Amino acid sequence: MNHEDIPAGSDPCGPEEDRRLIRQHLLAHAGDYFTDLETRTLGVELTRSRHRSACSLYRFELRDGRRSHAVVVKRRVPRGSRRPLAGQRPRAPEVYRLLPEPDFHEKDALEHAALRAIQQHFQERGDPRFGAIRILDRIPELHAIVMEEASDPSLSRLFLQRDFVRRPHPGCPLSLPFANAGAWLRLFHTLPVHRPGCELRGDLGALEGSLERLGEFLARTSTGEPGLRRAVEVAVRAARVVLPVRLPLVPAHGDYGPNNILVHSTGRVMVFDTCAKWRVPFYEDLAFFLFTFETIWPRAYGQRLAWSRRAVAHHAQDFLHGYFGEEAIPWPAIRVFELQCVLSHWASRRYGMHGSSGVIRAGKRLRMVFLERFFRRYVHEIVQALDGG
């Protein structure tokens, strides 16, 4: 995990007991993590922290006076536990969740096991295009994972630097890490993890049901969205033509976006932030990447400027070529799942309007003015592509 995810100036004062227990654990095990450290003179310093609704991120430096190593500790907390109870929003309905959220008590164990499996899987392949986050430890009593810090920038940061603010960045051409990100995902989808009862949308009927539920939810919670029902109808019709009745399932990353892909100057990529619990059609991770790439914030709020659209289309093609190699890119099938992803995030944003009040609600309403215009255009373009223009 990159230290950029824990910005300087963020609140360094998480629960004191958490920090004490983590520091104590690091002091006891630093010699196991890094054999070049002299444990008799070891110091452990918390340099940054960030607290989110579902986890806390801590960056510690381990120093012995001559050498130093940085680690990131990700501690899970019950979602919403940092909000005052009086203003806490009720748990989101599953209607818009494409992947059910794992139980809090199993989530850190799942993520630790997944990242360990990824590390082994990719190291066995020995492909210089791919790296893996080095997982050092798990602290079960704190629901925490210890990882070696990775200092490489994220793919989204590189894209914004080179294509949005037009600031040059040393290293490889940007098309290379996008292609490598696609190839990384293809190899991840061969990860040998199988958990009984964790299959989702394994047939055409389940996919159609997902699209219809999302469309109905959005139509019911808004006015002036007549195009949504037609979008769902077009996608269902296309799915019946281009997809088999039984859909092949693979481990789902679930959050495979440019923010979670770290890029070395050589173009090597490594990825984090997954539990790999669910098995879904492989199109879902592809669609999620395309959607999150499309919605990098300057583009979403800037309504997709022409030059930006060209850059995104070019790098999306790089990514898909990396995944499919010499195979033809199945664009119609991908578009069906891309629509599902767009509707899911739109529904999530719509749901997020509830449970807020005052200035926070007004701010959300203002953001939604821009986002809903973006979502409508996105849906319209997918429908045009599926309906033959």
Instruction: Provide the edge-to-edge strand list for the sheet that holds 68-76.
Output: 43-51, 55-63, 68-76, 144-148, 135-139
Report the alpha-carbon angle 302-308-312, nearest 5: 120
pLDDT digits (tens, 9 = 90+) for 92-116: 456 678 999 888 889 999 999 999 9
Residue 1 pLDDT > 80: no
Give the model's pLDDT for residue 86: 40
Report the phi/psi class of residue 55: left, alpha or beta, with left for phi > 0 and alpha for psi in -120 to 50: beta
Closest CA to 253 of 229, 286, 224, 223: 286
Taking 50 as the threshold, does the pLDDT of residue 11 lie above it? no
* pTM of the complete model: 0.89
Tell me the angle at which helices 331-352 and 358-386 cross, rounded to the nearest 10 degrees: 160
Q: What is the pLDDT of residue 381?
A: 93
Q: Tens digits of per-residue pLDDT, 132-155?
A: 999 999 999 999 999 999 989 999
Angle subtended at Cα 120 by Cα 118 and Cα 124, rounded to the nearest 5 degrees: 115
Q: How far apart are CA 195 and CA 186, in angstroms?
A: 20
Confidence of residue 5 (pLDDT cuts 50, 70, 90): low
Q: Which residue has the higher pLDDT, 351 or 131?
A: 131
In the chain, the amino acid numbered 175 is: S
Q: Which residues contact 252 (CB under 8 A, 6 or more apart)?
A: 99, 200, 276, 277, 278, 279, 280, 284, 285
Picking from 322, 321, 314, 272, the residue whose alpha carbon sits closest to that of residue 293 is 314
Is 202's pLDDT higher than 80? yes
Whole-number pLDDT of residue 270: 96
User: What gap in Å lies between CA 127 and CA 270, rounded to an integer?
Assistant: 12
Q: Report d(CA 57, CA 22) in Å as an integer.
A: 12
Q: Identify any residues that bridge with 380 across adjacent strands, giving them in sequence order.
A: none
DSSP secondary structure of 56-73: EEEEEEEE-SS-EEEEEE
pLDDT tops 70 at residue 365: yes
| 278-315 confidence digits (pLDDT tens) | 999 999 999 999 999 988 865 555 555 555 778 889 99
Residue-by-residue DSSP string for 161-229: IIIIS----SSS-THHHHHHHHHHHHHHTT-----TT-B-S-BHHHHHHHHHHHHHHHHHT-SS-THHH
Residue whose token pair is 């629509």: 339
Q: What is the mean pLDDT of residues 213-242?
A: 88
The pLDDT score that the predictor gives to residue 168 is 55
Q: What is the pLDDT of residues 326-340, one digit of tens each?
A: 999 999 999 999 999
Query: Which amino acid, one-letter code, is at 235?
Result: A
Q: Which residue ranges make up each domain of the chain? A: 1-82+133-150
How many CB atoms neighbour CB 266 within 10 A? Answer: 14
CA distance 288 to 338: 7
Alpha helices by DSSP H, listed for the chain, are: 16-33, 104-125, 155-159, 175-188, 204-220, 227-242, 283-294, 297-301, 306-324, 331-352, 358-386
Q: Furthest-apart CA pair in the chain: how many Å?
A: 69
Mean pLDDT throughout 115-131? 95
Q: Minimum mean pLDDT among 133-142, 164-173, 306-315, 356-365: which range?
A: 164-173
Q: Give the pairing of strands 55-63 and 43-51.
A: antiparallel
Q: What is the mean pLDDT of residues 364-381?
A: 84
pLDDT of 161 reads 83
pLDDT at 87: 42
